[in-house]
């Protein structure tokens, strides 16, 4: 997103550097503000409740897919098990609201904390492994979480899911029981989360992560603690993935084992594929595309799998890149984010 | 151990009786070398002599079976390669190891975050302003300033090797180890690279160690030459001494027939 | 969780026989699928995530062949050879294009096919569960074994798998073809330089791997319900088996499959809902402690 022109800086021109960095920070903020403004105004222009529902689901998945791309796109760590955080976030938030009397903000914090701990435990074990084994182990852990959800019937409702709805006590004057406030809440959370993840990826940490992705050994020779960086990325991705799950739980007023199933992980990977892994907003774009595609398909045919499968094949074998990559190329910026 | 430069008691880098075997084959066999501060040393030897293994042992990517490596008075055997890099060994590789998706300038600025302890900084925006100046200096030293915004992956082979050296240099190492800096280059590029390396050494007061196959280069610029063969230190001396050393000649060319009556 | 039920089963000989047989059945089917998976990974270096769908196709082909002809032998042939042919085409047309790419691309291509094949199966055969039933040839009273009873078909299944396992071993270890295949696995460039057509080897291995999966599906059809999506769970389980046994090791797949089969079988008495969890835990433990698997070669760090 930040413009990196071909004009190079003269060495030592630090005031210019500061201005350029502030400019790119400011740009992100501006885009976020503009996006939020559009989102806030949306219900006044289009009053369809279906649209609001779609946007809330989009908010959840945009956060979730972008968080996975921290691992895949920025970190080079292909996790097959990211759904475990979507599920963990949903269940922990829903359970906190159902079983304890806390307010929504407190439950959010609790849910994020839970995902952080889960990510820490799983990450410590996983990040040391190479490639395919990392992928397998993350998948194994996700299915383990899924297994626990299914078998701990007294806590989670087993394969029926968590029923009984989620209490929504108003907080700070916001009543999430009403559709429009719920939508505005989801939109704001999404914009804030995307902005936060953007900031992290444009920070020194984000660039260290890219170094680790491009050449982990070299990064080590430069004194970087590769495993720690990867673990930090894993925890960050897990937390934001959990926030996506939390929004979903609010949306469906419950939590279901499918949230932690490997098909949820697969959906995020599809979003990243179709939207593009190399640009920051790629996964979010992919989320829009996949949700639209899914909704469209189910309207016309029950054979959702064939259409989706063929689409994925086309992107994987023919295009070999996502929509935002095409756009970036067209605009003459063939840089990786 | 003849030391050029007056009576420096403790060498910058000392390798003592270093040993490493792989599956019963000695890759490094009881090698001891001193590298005085500010020296320019070449390591040569036929293929398979264990030169790169030697570098790996010193820089910490593999652990020796026995022996000591002492950097500026500190024993570094057993330290991770990250720690050893932080302690002052910079290393460039036979095949350049770069960050393909980062530009030249970005790579250097990113590398610079590490000694400043800011690699994991999540609060600020990249690049950190304090890294830009040093990155610029290093780019100029290596002649890369014109390519600051080029992606590392898009550089020509020669420029990639230069960036590889720059990434080693940017941390202001005490010892700079270059593994075949001119590998894969044509004669003109080779000349330029070695001029650059020599200039870096002269201007920076570094302790420089390099592996090289091109004997012209080695004999032209090295102060001291160490010859490895089958993992052993075969000979050590000035270019003239090495040039005329019969064991060295034999190691490279095979046994020579008696030429003089 | 019901450990007492487990304990009482161990006390009863007939229960032990039943559960052991059941475990062997699960293990046998798992072995066939996992052997194919591990062969493909060992030689081609590719993880065939579509493998579960091959198993499913094998079951459906067998079902249709049996319904049409009444011959179980034909059903087995249809399942095994039909899927082998499909696998060959799949490899030539699609997998080829992602050999060099990273795991993500391979995963995406395979996952796309899982979705497509599930729907194709729904279109052609309908979404309901199909039941083939035990073939006439095996409709006889159960056999008495060591104090318990075992259905005749189960014995056939276990026996057939044992024979196949033996045949695989003989071919891989004792024949020249097997040596060539193993050489191609270890060093494809060298093998190619020696004049071996590695492309043909790849195709052949993929076909054999697919054949094994299809055969498993055909053998499973009498004793499992044939439905879309039946490939998922066996895919995941065969992954666990190959990881535990070691990717690339067929003997490892055998050990792993038997282990998992027995754990599943006895576990379903003691802790039915958490059986899956146990298997994933085992996989996680192996990946941490000995990433190359119990019998595998390649390191994972």
Decide: helix, strand or coil at residue B180.
coil
Out of B101, B110, B140, the one facing A336 most closely (by C-beta) is B101
By Cβ distance, the residue of B110, B135, B140 closest to A207 is B110
Query: Is the separation of the CB atoms in C84 and C208 below 8 Å?
Result: yes
CB C244 within 8 A of CB C286: yes
Per-chain mean pLDDT for chain C: 86
CA nearest neighbour of A245 among A77, A151, A114 = A114
Residue C180 CA, chain-centre distance (Å), reads: 24
Question: Nearest CA to CA, how far is B254 from chain A (Å)?
Answer: 37
Residue whose token pair is 């044509």:
B186
Closest partner CB to B82 (pick from A7, A9, A223): A223
Give the Cα separation of A69 and A63 in Å (integer): 10
Nearest to A129 among C120, C281, C300 (CB): C300
- The 10s digit of each residue's pLDDT in C122-180 is 999 988 888 888 887 778 888 887 777 888 888 889 999 999 999 988 888 888 878 87
DSSP string, A185-239: HHHHHHHHHHHHHHHHHTSHHHHHHHHHHH-HHHHHHTT--HHHHHHHHHHHHHH
**Best mean pLDDT range from A279-288, B30-39, B49-58:** A279-288
Residue C136: CA atoms inside 13 Å, Cβ hemisphere, count? 5
| E strand segments, B24-102 | 25-35, 40-44, 66-71, 74-75, 89-92
- The bridge status of strand B13-22 relative to strand B232-237 is unpaired
Please indicate whether, in this complex, the C-beta atoms of C277 and A273 are within 8 angstroms of each other: no
Question: DSSP H helical segments within chain C, as ranges?
Answer: 3-11, 13-44, 51-69, 72-93, 103-125, 152-169, 176-186, 188-193, 198-220, 230-245, 250-270, 275-289
Beta-carbon pairs below 8 A across chains A and C:
118
Give the start-to-end residue ranges of the domains of chain C.
Answer: 3-289
Interface residues of C toward A, Cβ cutoff 8 Å, are: 47, 94, 97-98, 102-105, 107-109, 111-116, 118-120, 122-123, 236, 239-240, 243, 271, 273-274, 276-277, 280-281, 283-284, 287-288, 291, 300-301
From the list A235, A190, A242, the residue with the least C-alpha distance to A209 is: A235
Q: Is B124 exposed, middle or buried (0-12, 13-18, 19+ CB in 10 A)?
A: middle
Q: How many Å separate Cα A290 from the centre of its chain?
A: 14
Give the whole-angstrom CA distance, residue C225 versus residue B241. Answer: 83
pLDDT (mean) for A8-19: 50
C237 has which bridge partners?
none
Q: Give one DSSP letter per residue of A72-120, joined into a string.
A: IIIT----S-THHHHHHHHHHHHHHHHHS---HHHHHHHHHHHHHHHHH
* Of B41, B129, B128, C109, the residue nearest A320 (C-alpha): C109
A8 contacts B145? CB cut-off 8 A: yes
Nearest CA in chain A to C271: A151
Tokens of A306: 């064939």
pLDDT for residue A6: 29
The tens digit of pLDDT for each residue in A193-215 reads 999 999 999 999 999 999 999 99
* Cβ–Cβ under 8 Å, residues C262 and C27: yes
Position B241 in a domain: yes
Q: Cβ of C301 and A269 within 8 Å?
A: no
Interchain pair A217, B126: CB under 8 A = no
Which residues of chain C make contact with A230, given a CB cutoff of 8 A? none
Reported confidence tier of residue B4, pLDDT bands at 50, 70, 90 = very low
For A69-105, b/e burial (b = at least 16 CB within 10 A) is bbbbbbbbbbbbbbbbbbbbbbbbbbbbbbeeeeebe
ipTM score assigned to the predicted complex: 0.83
Residues of B in contact with A8 (CB under 8 A): 105, 145, 148-149
**Beta strand B40-44 with B224-229: parallel, antiparallel or unpaired?**
parallel
Instruction: Quote the tokens at residue C264.
Output: 């599943």
CA distances from A207 to A121, A337, B110, B125, B161 (A): 24, 10, 6, 10, 22
Tell the CATH topology of C3-289.
ABC transporter involved in vitamin B12 uptake, BtuC (1.10.3470)
Contacts of A225 in chain B (CB under 8 A): 82
Tokens 């915004």 -> residue: B149
What pLDDT sits at residue B2? Answer: 43
Q: What is the pLDDT of residues C255-265, one digit of tens each?
A: 999 999 998 88
Q: Which of C45, C50, C93, C108 has the most A C-beta neighbours within 10 Å, making it the best mutation to test the interface with A?
A: C108
The residue with tokens 């697919």 is C210
pTM of this prediction?
A: 0.87
- B120–A229 CB contact, under 8 Å: yes
HSE at residue A234, side-chain half, CA atoms within 13 A, is: 27
Check: CB of residue B112 under 8 Å from CB of residue B170. Answer: yes
Element (H, E) at A50: helix A49-69
Which residues in chain B are contacts of A18 at CB distance < 8 A? 129
Domain-located, residue B18: no
Sign of CA dihedral B55, A212, A322, C91: positive
Give A22's contacts in chain B (Cβ within 8 Å): 125
Average pLDDT over residues A48-65: 94
The residue written with tokens 């066999």 in the block is B29
The pLDDT tens digits for B155-181 are: 999 999 999 999 998 888 999 999 999
Q: Which of B118-122, B147-151, C183-187 has the weakest average pLDDT?
A: C183-187
- For residue A2, what pLDDT is reported? 28
Number of domains in chain B: 1
| Per-residue confidence (pLDDT) for residue B9, from 0 to 100 | 65
**Average pLDDT value over all residues in chain A:** 89
CATH number of the domain encompassing residue B222:
3.40.50.300
Rounded to a whole number, what is the distance in Å from the CA of A265 to chain B's nearest CA? 26
Are B120 and A205 in contact (CB < 8 Å)? yes
Is the CB of residue A264 less than 8 Å away from at least one CB of chain B?
no
Separation between Cα atoms, residue B171 and residue B85, nearest integer Å: 9
pLDDT higher than 90, residue A64: yes
A23 at B interface, C-beta within 8 A: no
DSSP state of C130: B
Average confidence (pLDDT) over B194-204: 88
Please give the distance of CA C91 from its chain centroid, rounded to a whole number.
18
DSSP state at residue A127: T
pLDDT at A231 over 90: yes
| Averaged pLDDT of chain B | 86
Mark yes or no for CB contact A310/C120 under 8 Å.
Answer: no
Interface list for B 6-45 with A (CB within 8 A):
none
Interchain contact C/A (3 or more Cβ pairs less than 8 Å): yes
Q: Is A329 touching B (CB cutoff 8 A)?
A: no
Is A196 within 8 Å of chain B by CB? no
> Max Cα separation, chain A?
65
Residue C96: what pLDDT? Answer: 87
**Looking up tokens 């992107």, which residue turns up?**
A315
Q: For residue B210, tell me if it sits in a domain.
A: yes
Residues of C in contact with A132 (CB under 8 A): 47, 103
Which residue does chain C place closest to A151, by CA atoms?
C273
Neighbouring-strand partners of residue B69: B15
Q: Which domain holds residue B165?
A: 36-101+155-253
C chain contacts of residue A78, beta-carbon cutoff 8 Å: 102-104, 107
Asked if B117 has any chain A CB less than 8 Å from its own CB, the reply is no
Inter-chain CB proximity B85 and A220 less than 8 Å? yes
C62: confidence class by pLDDT, cuts 50, 70, 90: very high
B167 contacts in chain A (CB < 8 Å): 218, 222
- Model confidence band, residue A12 (pLDDT cutoffs 50, 70, 90): very low
Higher pLDDT, C298 or C42: C42
- Gap between the Cα atoms of B194 and A233, Å rounded: 40
Domain ranges of chain A: 27-258
3-state secondary structure A149-181: HHHCHHHHCHHHCECCCCCCCCECCECCCCHHH
Q: Which residues of A touch C104 (CB under 8 A)?
A: 72, 78, 269, 273
Q: How many residues does chain C have?
A: 301
């Amino acid at each position: 997103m930040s413009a990196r022109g071909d004009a190079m800086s003269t060495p030592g021109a630090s005031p210019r550097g500061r201005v350029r960095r502030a400019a790119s920070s400011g740009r992100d903020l501006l885009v976020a503000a503009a996006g939020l403004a559009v989102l806030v105004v949306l219900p006044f222009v289009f009053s369809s409740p279906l649209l609001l529902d779609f946007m809330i689901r989009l908010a959840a998945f945009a956060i979730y897919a972008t968080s996975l791309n921290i691992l895949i796109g920025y970190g080079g760590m292909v996790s097959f098990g990211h759904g475990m955080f979507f599920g963990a976030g949903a269940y922990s938030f829903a359970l906190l609201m159902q079983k304890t009397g806390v307010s929504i903000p407190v439950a959010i914090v609790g849910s994020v904390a839970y995902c952080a701990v889960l990510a820490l435990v799983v990450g410590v074990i996983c990040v040391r492994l190479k490639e395919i084994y990392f992928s397998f182990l993350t998948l194994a852990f996700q299915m383990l979480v899924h297994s626990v959800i299914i078998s701990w019937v007294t806590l989670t409702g087993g394969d029926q899911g968590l029923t009984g709805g989620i209490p929504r006590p108003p907080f700070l004057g916001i009543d999430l029981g009403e559709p429009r406030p719920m939508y505005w809440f989801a939109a704001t959370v999404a914009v804030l989360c995307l902005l936060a993840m953007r900031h992290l990826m444009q920070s020194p940490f984000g660039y260290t992560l890219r170094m680790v992705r491009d050449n982990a050994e070299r990064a080590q020779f430069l004194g970087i603690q590769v495993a720690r960086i990867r673990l930090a990325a894993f925890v960050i991705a897990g937390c934001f993935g959990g926030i996506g799950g939390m929004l979903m739980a609010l949306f469906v007023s419950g939590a279901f084992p499918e949230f932690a199933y490997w098909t949820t992980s697969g959906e995020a990977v599809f979003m990243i594929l179709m939207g593009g892994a190399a640009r920051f907003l790629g996964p979010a774009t992919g989320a829009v595309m996949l949700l639209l595609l899914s909704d469209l398909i189910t309207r016309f045919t029950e054979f959702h799998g064939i259409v989706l499968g063929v689409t994925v094949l086309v992107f994987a074998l023919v295009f070999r890149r996502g929509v935002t990559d095409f756009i970036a190329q067209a605009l003459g910026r063939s840089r990786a984010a | 151990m003849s030391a050029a430069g007056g009576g420096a008691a403790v060498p910058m880098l000392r390798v003592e009786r270093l040993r490493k075997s792989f599956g019963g084959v000695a890759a490094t066999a009881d090698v001891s070398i001193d590298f005085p501060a500010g020296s320019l040393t070449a390591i040569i030897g036929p293929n398979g002599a264990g030169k790169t293994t030697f570098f790996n042992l010193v820089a910490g990517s593999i652990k020796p079976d026995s022996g000591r490596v002492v950097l500026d008075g500190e024993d570094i055997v057993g330290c991770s390669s990250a720690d050893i890099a932080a302690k002052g060994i910079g290393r460039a590789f036979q095949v350049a190891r770069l960050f393909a998706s980062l530009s030249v300038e970005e790579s250097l600025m990113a590398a610079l975050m590490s000694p400043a302890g800011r690699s994991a900084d999540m609060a600020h925006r990249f690049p950190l302003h304090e890294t830009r100046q040093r990155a610029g200096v290093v780019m100029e030293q290596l002649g890369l300033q014109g390519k600051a915004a080029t992606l590392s992956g898009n550089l020509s082979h020669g420029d990639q090797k230069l960036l590889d050296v720059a990434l080693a240099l940017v941390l202001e190492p005490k010892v700079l180890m270059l593994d075949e800096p001119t590998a894969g280059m044509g004669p003109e590029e080779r000349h330029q690279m070695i001029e650059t390396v020599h200039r870096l050494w002269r201007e920076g007061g570094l302790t420089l160690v390099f592996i090289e196959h091109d004997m012209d280069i080695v004999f032209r610029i090295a102060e001291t030459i160490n010859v490895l063969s089958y993992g052993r230190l075969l000979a050590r001396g000035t270019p003239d001494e090495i040039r005329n050393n019969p064991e060295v000649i034999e190691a490279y060319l095979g046994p020579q027939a008696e030429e003089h009556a | 969780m019901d450990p007492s039920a487990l304990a009482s089963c161990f006390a009863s000989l007939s229960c032990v026989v039943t559960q052991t047989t059941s475990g062997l059945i699960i293990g046998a089917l798992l072995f066939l699928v996992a052997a194919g998976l591990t062969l493909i990974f060992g030689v081609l270096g590719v993880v065939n995530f579509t493998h579960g769908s091959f198993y499913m196709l094998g079951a459906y082909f067998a079902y249709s062949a049996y319904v049409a002809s009444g011959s179980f032998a034909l059903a087995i042939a249809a399942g095994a050879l039909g899927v082998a042919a499909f696998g060959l085409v799949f490899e030539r047309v699609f997998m080829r294009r992602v050999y060099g790419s990273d795991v993500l691309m391979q995963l995406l291509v395979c996952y796309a096919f899982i979705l497509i094949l599930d729907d194709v199966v729904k279109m052609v055969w309908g979404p309901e569960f199909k039941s083939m039933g035990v073939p006439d040839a095996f409709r006889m009273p159960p056999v008495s074994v060591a104090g318990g009873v075992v259905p005749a078909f189960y014995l056939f299944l276990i026996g057939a798998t044992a024979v196949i396992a033996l045949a695989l071993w003989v071919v891989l270890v004792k024949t020249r073809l097997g040596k060539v295949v193993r050489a191609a696995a270890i060093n494809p460039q060298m093998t190619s330089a020696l004049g071996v057509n590695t492309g043909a080897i790849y195709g052949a291995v993929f076909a054999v791997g697919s054949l094994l999966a299809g055969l498993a599906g055909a053998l499973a059809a009498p004793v499992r319900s044939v439905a879309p999506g039946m490939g998922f769970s066996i895919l995941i389980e065969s992954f666990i088996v190959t990881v535990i046994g070691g990717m690339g090791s067929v003997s490892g797949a055998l050990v792993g499959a038997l282990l998992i089969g027995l754990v599943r079988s006895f576990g379903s008495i003691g802790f039915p809902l958490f059986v899956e969890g146990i298997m994933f835990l085992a996989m996680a433990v192996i990946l941490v402690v000995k990433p190359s698997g119990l019998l595998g070669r390649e390191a994972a760090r």
